[in-house]
Amino acid sequence: MEVRVDKVLLGEAGPVRIFRSHIGEWGPTFRVASWPIVVSEKDGEVSWSDATLRGDRLYIDPKQLHGIGDVNARDLAADDDGLVPLDAMLDRVRQADARKQRRSIGKE
């Protein structure tokens, strides 16, 4: 399935991303929506969440997108609507990646 990429928040992707793996319970499709979604792929597993824009921040549903990298979305404090801020989650992913890199070179 080809997905047009509007913005890369972490990692690398071209203007179109091709997913060859199974996406979700019902096969290789995302819900057709006029709002943005956040997509994550780890070890060939693809997950996604609707993105809610409030002011200049994106929020995701931790029940839809369970995690990014080694960070579990449910480890972040959800707001009254059950959503977590994407920027806070990406900060944790970057911190976890930096710790992993320091360990791999023996500096932690």
Q: What is the pLDDT of residues 80-90, one digit of tens each?
A: 999 999 999 98
CA dihedral for 74, 21, 11, 4, sign (positive or negative): negative
Q: Stretch 9-16: mean pLDDT, rounded? A: 66
Judging by DSSP bridges, how do beta strands 45-54 and 57-60 pair with one another? antiparallel
Q: Say whether pTM exceeds 0.85.
A: no
With 0-12 / 13-18 / 19 or more C-beta atoms within 10 angstroms meaning exposed / middle / buried, residue 97 is: middle
Per residue in 49-91, pLDDT (tens digit) is: 888 989 888 899 998 888 888 888 888 889 999 999 999 998 9
Q: Where residue 30 falls among pLDDT bands split at 50, 70, 90?
A: low
| pLDDT for the residue numbered 18 | 60
